[in-house]
Structure 1
Amino acid sequence: MFRIEAEVDKDRRDLLLSRLRDTNTAASPVLAALRGTPGEREAPLHVWALDTAGNLAAGLVGHTWTTWLHVSYLWVDAVHRGTGLGSRLLTEAERIATTDRGCTASRLETWDFQAPGFYRRQGYEVVGTIPDYPPGVTEYILTKQLP
């Protein structure tokens, strides 16, 4: 008999993640080879742009894992859009990922009303779409091979 609970529990989440990583590592030769190395762990990667007053003008939040950069969020304040600031943040994140962390590829997700065209101009290619996620919107999954 099991008791089923639906509650947010950080400790259980962390335990579950640890056990899932152990299971995945044991099942994958590539992950098993990385076991215990810095490349196995996710490493946060944040890039910020501040205006002259020190206020947040734009930011990129992501992480690296094995040989991949994963861009989770990229935002540019409306008054700075179209100035190349987003491109500068993405380029800097890719530089850090390749030069400092040995990444060879990048991935991200964006919705159709956000920035798929921007990412294509940065060299990203659409590798998948999820229609109606959320309803009425298409999500794009994009990747890019890094130099």
Structure 2
Amino acid sequence: MSKPKILIVDDDPDLRRALRLRLRANNYDTVHAPDGYSAIAVAQKEHPDLILLDLGLPAGDGFVVLERLQNIDSLAGVPVVVLTARDPQNNEERALKGGAAAFFQKPVDNTELLDVIRASLTDSRTPGIRPS
């Protein structure tokens, strides 16, 4: 059985590297995109099992990327977990209503993130997971 593939969409190369190392240590394959524009292209090419999406991206706001992903038939069922430094008060509800499976404010607790990733991959039909 192949490892689940996770697309990391974030403009911070240090964070992408840290996430990649953590995910690979937990038996996930990873691909990445540094901006909103390439996120769509990489997602269509790589067909990830889950997407980690920053909201504050160059070349395409994270909300625009989330909406576009939801409108591409082959990607519409892929769980999207939002990781952002933005204020959750103004963004969490919008992200979850927009189709995100979960919302995290950076910095992210790795254990919680891995738990949500596992849960999202197990049952991507359960929207609106909110880490404690």
What TM-score range do you get, normalising by the shorter chain? Answer: 0.3 to 0.5
Higher share in helix: 2
Higher share in strand: 1
- Which protein shows a greater Rg? 1
Q: TM-score, normalised by structure 2?
A: 0.37
